Structure 1
Amino acid sequence: MTEQKRKLEKLAGVKGMNDVLPQDAALWEFFESTVKSMLRAYGYQNIRTPIVEHTQLFTRGIGEVTDIVEKEMYSFVDSLNGEQLTLRPEGTAAAVRATIEHNLLYDGPKRLWYIGPMFRHERPQRGRYRQFHQVGVEALGFAGPDADAEIILMCQRLWDDLGLTGIRLEINSLGLAEERARHRVELVSYLEKHVDVLDADATRRLYTNPLRVLDTKNPALQEIARNAPKLVDFLGDESRQHFEGLQRLLKANNIPFTINPRLVRGLDYYNLTVFEWVTDKLGAQGTVAAGGRYDPLIEQLGGKPTAACGWAMGVERILELLKEDDLVPHEEGCDVYVVHQGDAAREQAFIIAERLRDTGLDVILHCSPDGAPSSFKSQMKRADASGAAFAVILGEDEIASGNVAVKPLRDTSGSAEKGEQRTVPVENLTEFLINAMVATAEDGED
């Protein structure tokens, strides 16, 4: 292949790392504005951490024998100084690292939230990508079941705000470390009796992370997992009281839930409460949000012992649900499209467009695609296609008279209709457009 031909080859994006195109932006913006509004309602503050962290943060925080650390992290050696670095696979460890490093808890507990891209090296499939986006919350410094209940209620409010249905809540308790240790002995002993039928994943996890065997998706192992010793039977009084307190708060707020004794989550830092919000609408990737309590993590990463809980949700999966339920919002067009012809009209069009923007109107100023003057007919086609409510038209006659022509492009229902064209003095244009848009909005409400 010649060098010239190689340069002309079309380049494609990395598989599993997707572009968000303009036609999809309205859905992303709808979700982001809705979730940010919900987070403000609960008093959460935004935190933004780098997408690259030291690899040790995740091996120490998430756990070295988890799937994420063993198989899914994008890790590399920094050629500048030899540091082991990783593209963040999740947000909790990074948020906790920043909290410790900047002493955010010196004046009391914190409610934090984040949104951004995460990275995992796994086979791309619907709702599961190599670069994906998460929204997460972290309630740091709160030890009681009330914090667990609050973060669960936040999710329910978000589903309601988005209009989503068919998402159900599953909860469980992982108890405390000593309780899990007693359960682990019994669980390993039980699984050893069935070692001849365990699949490769279960065999690999048998002595390193046996709890994860209970969460197997292999149909052949479902009965074994169902009959395994249940962690709930090993919980002490403190863990039981915490779990029962959570259940009382959920019931008091009319939040339906199912106790799933096999729900364990895939990260080492969880204790006590764990939960998942799941749906049947996305096939195998049915979990849309998950979280729980992770009291050991802050001390594990070098901070003072501090209680904490939180959740994360996959943005792409929720957007799939919005599409599935036909909840994709209509993308609003701009307010005004400015059509012009002639050098003098073009100069005046720039001035008018800026003045209209100064008042808060959204304005598209026509620019010729090929650099040559565009006809009024072709410009009006673009004005119609833009979704603008009004076209402001300037030509030689308008420049000579000090007026502009204003043509409505939509009726009150938003459909394309040819309204009556009006001649308006330039100095009255802003007032005329604002009054016309207010009147249109009021007609639409009627």
Structure 2
Amino acid sequence: MAAHVTRIKGFADMFPPDSDAFLFLEETARRIFSRCGFVELRTPVLEYTDLFRRSIGEETDVVQKEMFTFPDRNDRLMTMRPEATAGVMRAYIEDARHTRESVSRLFTTGPMFRYERPQKGRMRQFHQLNCECLGSHSPYADADMIIMLMRFLREAGLTELTLKLNSLGCASCRPRFKEALVDYLKGLAGEGGLCEDCTRRMQTNPLRVLDCKQEGCRRLTDAAPRLLDYNCPDCRAHFDTVVRLLEAEKIPYELDHRLVRGLDYYCRTTFEVVSGNIGSQSAVAGGGRYDGLVKSLGGPDVPGVGFACGMERLALLLPERPAPRLDFYAVGMNEAGRDVCFSLAQRLREAGLTGEVHTGDGGFKSSMRQAGKSGARYCLIVGEDEAASGTVMVKNMDSGEQQAVPQSGVVEHLASTPGGIEHE
């Protein structure tokens, strides 16, 4: 016997109800984001590796440890996208969007790939909803993006979430903070020391030390310098405006001096939405401002702000929703009845109803068992007599009641029955 072919560790198949949850999130996102002027962009899952090295940062954990990278047949390094923003920036530059619109509002959805230990809410192939607003320096753009994110989460039915905020400053004020932070971290050498990763980060990307999840490192850095204390006047005014706008819209938030994000391109406003209901991987969405990213990739000096939502984590938090239910299940008892059912099903679907035609073998009892298993509201039965008389036996699968209905009046009958079907 041939060996079974299995899926790769860290990659998941999604049948309903998981796929239904993803569809619901995508439909909700499209509805909310389009209200705010965002249009959908679809980018490739495969890009040249250099794009991510330049955008995410050579010394980040993502580039150093987590990317799926391989040479193609011409020995060019390719990478399965580990995040969406870099690809959006590349597409924005190549399409020269800045020459046609002063502000671009783009959203994407799709799979991302990172090689890390699979765990609840984070697989090696995971999915994100991603939004980018390019072309505005205004703090109003930041606040609008955050409010849109929180509205989307609320419309999806998610509760008990916490919005965390910080400001990373800019190229003018952040060097002073980095210097103060490194001096502080060097002073920890005699206090038990930082973990191996943080010792490396202290030299390459000291802000990431604040983001370490190890309890010992967090305890040692509790009294570390805080970014907001080192913001220049312009950065502080920008952040104060964002906070004022959120408060005016009654959006609750917490200031978090550890919130530095994992990618190098962020500046000024940074934010994250977390939940305490999904274990250690608590972040369900996050983002911020990245004013120099487009320029660093060879494009115009265009500011930007954006966020990403992890769909697997959002799906874990969704309130239980009833499974979609078929409107009808059609059973033909002979060849003539099957022909009638097949044609009738097409007309019912065109009218906006959902349903199946029985295509299995077996007799009447077997067909009705399948109708019951389908969960449909109604079973439509066409035997020899019904085919000859132009009628359909309509059985209410909840009450067991049934009656003969003209084939031409089935849609109206299903819609008019108490507790019946709403259709287009």
Q: Please indicate the TM-score interval, normalised by the length of the shorter structure.
A: over 0.9
Could you tell me how far 1:356 is from its partner in structure 2?
Answer: 2.1
Partner of 2:378: 390
Partner of 1:225: 221
Could you tell me how far 1:130 is from its partner in structure 2?
Answer: 0.2
Give matches, 1:259-408, under 5 Å: 259-322=255-318, 327-368=319-360, 372=361, 374-408=362-396
- Supply the distance in 1 between the matched residues of 2:69 and 2:123 (Cα, whole angstroms): 17
Equivalent residue in structure 2 for 1:423, among 400, 404, 408: 404
Could you tell me how far 1:328 is from its partner in structure 2?
Answer: 2.1
Could you tell me how far 1:340 is from its partner in structure 2?
Answer: 1.0
Asked whether the 8 Å contact 2:333–2:364 carries over to 1, the reply is yes
Asked whether the 8 Å contact 1:132–1:315 carries over to 2, the reply is yes
- Supply the distance in 1 between the matched residues of 2:84 and 2:328 (Cα, whole angstroms): 41
Can you list the C-alpha shifts for 1:309-331, whole angstroms capped at 9, x where unaligned? Answer: 00001000011112xxxx12112
Q: Secondary structure at the match of 2:399?
A: coil
Could you tell me how far 1:154 is from its partner in structure 2?
Answer: 1.3
Can you list the C-alpha shifts for 1:100-135, whole angstroms capped at 9, x where unaligned? Answer: 000112122111101100000000011111000000
Could you tell me how far 1:137 is from its partner in structure 2?
Answer: 0.4
Partner of 1:99: 92
Could you tell me how far 1:143 is from its partner in structure 2?
Answer: 0.7
Give 5+ residue unaligned stretches, structure 1. 410-415
Equivalent residue in structure 2 for 1:84, among 77, 84, 88: 77
Can you list the C-alpha shifts for 1:343-383, whole angstroms capped at 9, x where unaligned? Answer: 22222222222222232222210011xxx4x2222211211
Give matches, 1:135-150, under 5 Å: 135-150=129-144
- Supply the distance in 2 between the matched residues of 1:320 and 1:402 (Cα, whole angstroms): 49
Instruction: Say whether 1:440 aligns with 2:420.
Output: yes
Q: RMSD between aligned alpha carbons?
A: 1.5
Instruction: Say whether 1:113 aligns with 2:113.
Output: no
**What is the one-letter code of the residue matched to 1:27?**
A
Q: Secondary structure at the match of 1:171?
A: strand
**What is the one-letter code of the residue matched to 1:66?**
T
Can you list the C-alpha shifts for 1:84-113, whole angstroms capped at 9, x where unaligned? Answer: 100000000100110000011212211110
Can you list the C-alpha shifts for 1:286-344, whole angstroms capped at 9, x where unaligned? Answer: 1111000000000001111011000001000011112xxxx121122221111111122
Partner of 1:130: 124
Could you tell me how far 1:271 is from its partner in structure 2?
Answer: 0.5
TM-score when normalising by structure 2: 0.95
Could you tell me how far 1:427 is from its partner in structure 2?
Answer: 3.1
Aligned CA distance change for structure 1 residues 397 and 245 (closer, same or farther; 3 Å): same
**What is the one-letter code of the residue matched to 1:380?**
M
TM-score when normalising by structure 1: 0.91
Quick check: 375-384 or 288-297, which moved more?
375-384
Quick check: 163-172 or 129-138, which moved more?
163-172
> Size of the alignment, in residue pairs?
419
Aligned CA distance change for structure 1 residues 85 and 318 (closer, same or farther; 3 Å): same
Quick check: 93-102 or 390-399, which moved more?
390-399
- Supply the distance in 2 between the matched residues of 1:310 and 1:181 (Cα, whole angstroms): 23
Asked whether the 8 Å contact 1:26–1:329 carries over to 2, the reply is no
Asked whether the 8 Å contact 2:172–2:232 carries over to 1, the reply is no
Equivalent residue in structure 1 for 2:56, among 32, 40, 62: 62
- Supply the distance in 1 between the matched residues of 2:347 and 2:283 (Cα, whole angstroms): 49
Equivalent residue in structure 1 for 2:43, among 38, 49, 55: 49
Asked whether the 8 Å contact 2:332–2:339 carries over to 1, the reply is no
- Supply the distance in 2 between the matched residues of 1:271 and 1:430 (Cα, whole angstroms): 58
- Supply the distance in 1 between the matched residues of 2:300 and 2:407 (Cα, whole angstroms): 66
Asked whether the 8 Å contact 2:415–2:421 carries over to 1, the reply is no
Instruction: Say whether 1:20 aligns with 2:2.
Output: no
Partner of 2:29: 35
Q: Secondary structure at the match of 1:150?
A: helix
- Supply the distance in 2 between the matched residues of 1:313 and 1:433 (Cα, whole angstroms): 40
Give 5+ residue unaligned stretches, structure 2. none
- Supply the distance in 2 between the matched residues of 1:189 and 1:23 (Cα, whole angstroms): 52
Instruction: Say whether 1:252 aligns with 2:248.
Output: yes
- Supply the distance in 1 between the matched residues of 2:349 and 2:248 (Cα, whole angstroms): 49
Q: Secondary structure at the match of 1:115?
A: strand
| Percent identity between the two aligned chains | 43
- Supply the distance in 2 between the matched residues of 1:162 and 1:431 (Cα, whole angstroms): 33
Asked whether the 8 Å contact 2:181–2:225 carries over to 1, the reply is yes
- Supply the distance in 2 between the matched residues of 1:428 and 1:126 (Cα, whole angstroms): 50
Could you tell me how far 1:441 is from its partner in structure 2?
Answer: 5.1
**What is the one-letter code of the residue matched to 1:433?**
L
Quick check: 108-117 or 328-337, which moved more?
328-337
Q: Secondary structure at the match of 1:203?
A: helix
Equivalent residue in structure 2 for 1:206, among 202, 211, 214: 202
- Supply the distance in 1 between the matched residues of 2:231 and 2:18 (Cα, whole angstroms): 47
Q: Secondary structure at the match of 1:347?
A: helix
- Supply the distance in 1 between the matched residues of 2:255 and 2:167 (Cα, whole angstroms): 9
Quick check: 8-17 or 137-146, which moved more?
8-17
Could you tell me how far 1:28 is from its partner in structure 2?
Answer: 2.0
- Supply the distance in 2 between the matched residues of 1:25 and 1:263 (Cα, whole angstroms): 32
- Supply the distance in 1 between the matched residues of 2:202 and 2:170 (Cα, whole angstroms): 20
